[in-house]
Amino acid sequence: MEVLPVSWFYRPVNPMANIRVVLVRQMYGGNLGAICRAMKNMGLSELVMVSPNPDLDFYEAQKYALHADDILENRRQVDSVEEAVADCAIVAATTGLKGLYRSHTKTPREIAPRLLESAQTNKVALVFGPENHGLSNEEMQVATHLVTIPSTDAYSSLNLAQAVMVCCYELYVASQQYAPPQEFHPEASIAMRERLFTMWREMLLDIKFCDEVKLDHMMMGFRRIFGRGYLSEADVKILMGLARQASWAGKGGGEKEG
């Protein structure tokens, strides 16, 4: 009998697919569209709305959603927070207010690993209140965690779409799905760097940038400059070309004979 590999049975779960954004009593179409766009930017797709404003401008939402219109079109609408999160293991409710029942909050960066851990096997919800005053104490009763976005005391209330973006961004970063671009060219070797410094010594004299007395001091400065960051082989070749051309010009290259 053929033995199937373990990978045939196991399918890795993308925890971001199990994270739901819940909007309670959403008021403005522009914010709704911007939220859809923020979700798509950060790899989230499930949107549930609880009793949105009946006059909410969905045409405006479509304009702001742009290429995230699929999230807007696939949204679900329910009548209560309890219904929106009934199948979730963790419910993180956002709040910008202080008080006895809101004192044990975490930042989006602190809570993100816990949400992703649960989302490996469970549904998880991020709940946001309406633009004018946020979630009520009653609406937050089903929350297992409270989240507050750090902001200045001068104006601590964030725009709803921006708050959603901050939370979604921290989740995406914590998910480690983003791979920064890698340097294409290999780093220059010490031997190659020394050839560069030899050419620069000659160039500095040829263009009369400094005299022999100050040359060693000047080269130490250039060594520090070039040693502060990643110096690729391609970078060194450009700097060598610069030195070669500058030396040629400093020696009178290209001048017409009179």
Q: Is residue 21 domain-resident?
A: yes
Query: Which residues, 6 or more positions from 213, have their beta carbon under 8 angstroms from its beta carbon?
Result: none
Residues 35 and 60 grouped into a single domain: yes
Q: Is residue 184 domain-resident?
A: no
Q: Is residue 2 domain-resident?
A: no
Which pairs count as long-range contacts for 68-75, CB under 8 Å and 24+ apart, including other chains?
Answer: 68/33, 68/36, 68/37, 68/39, 68/40, 68/41, 69/36, 70/40, 70/45, 71/36, 71/39, 71/40, 71/45, 71/47, 72/32, 72/33, 72/36, 72/47, 74/45, 74/47, 75/47, 75/48, 75/49
258: pLDDT confidence band, cut at 50, 70 and 90? Answer: very low
pTM: 0.76
Q: In this structure, what are the phi and psi dihedrals at residue 20, rounded to the nearest 5 degrees?
A: -110, 135
Residues 72 and 143 grouped into a single domain: yes
Q: Is residue 258 domain-resident?
A: no
Total count of domains within the chain: 2
Number of helices and strands (H, E) in the chain?
Answer: 10, 7
Q: Is residue 91 domain-resident?
A: yes
* Res 8: pLDDT: 46
Residues 57 and 159 grouped into a single domain: yes
* Res 206: pLDDT: 92
Range of the domain at 28: 15-174
Residues 74 and 101 grouped into a single domain: yes
